[in-house]
Amino acid sequence: MKAKAAFFDIDGTIFRNSLMIEHFQKLIAFEVIDPEVWNTKVKKVYLEWEKRYGDFEEYLEILAGVYLYELKGFDKSYIEYIADHVIKSNGDMVYKYSRNQIEYHKKQNHKIFFISGSPDFLVSRMAEKYEVTDYRGSIYKVDSQNKFTGEIVKMWDSESKQRELNNLIKEYDVDLENSYAYGDTTGDFSMLKIIGNPVAINPNRDLLISIREDEELSKKTTIIVERKNVIYKLDPNVEFLNT
């Protein structure tokens, strides 16, 4: 019998921030990264996003480039030590809806997979914390001495996630029609599209538009918005109030 499964993105879907951002901030706190790197290379775009003039994806893309550059040459074991602190101190900073859904799927004996653009050494720790079946994350390559090379196998775009999704589906013999997928950005679009029960959690504008423009997907997608202590279920064709 084929297995029923639930596929979860992490950042913005389960976790209320980005694991990479939290790790970047910890690296500064542990004086691995000079605070001036934040001030000169990231702060401006971060403040634009914080004031809601800028775009979160732009902020994240810039930070990801700085993060990758700053990790180059560091021993992975030390960076993983700091990753442990991230999960220990922030691993519970998740959406209530998502946490409840993970527990629901466990009770149903469904396979649970985390597929995230965050570094695999962070994703693996979240997977362990929530006791899921398997995971995939962006791979930050190391050399023969276990030092980061500055090279990456990314996992945050739709094509990359689709590739790993296909691998998991084949490996675990997943029943697509009766399985679930949870995501929040267009990087999760392909995952939501091929699974029978797609759920968009706090979707950004681009994902909502993509769902709306896909006739089949718009009919079967559940839209969830969680703000403060209220969880809303919305129609995919909800009117935009911003332009």
Using the predicted structure, report yes or no on whether residue 157 has a pLDDT greater than 80.
Answer: no
Which tens digits make up the pLDDT trace of 27-78? 999 999 999 999 999 999 999 988 989 888 889 889 999 999 999 999 999 9
State the pTM of this model. Answer: 0.94
Q: What is the pLDDT, as a whole number, of residue 198? A: 97
Mind giving me the DSSP string for 176-220? STT-EEEESSGGGHHHHHHSSEEEEES--HHHHHHHHH-HHHHHH
Confidence of residue 231 (pLDDT cuts 50, 70, 90): very high
Q: How far apart are CA 31 and CA 13, in angstroms?
A: 30
Average pLDDT of the segment spanning 131-157: 93
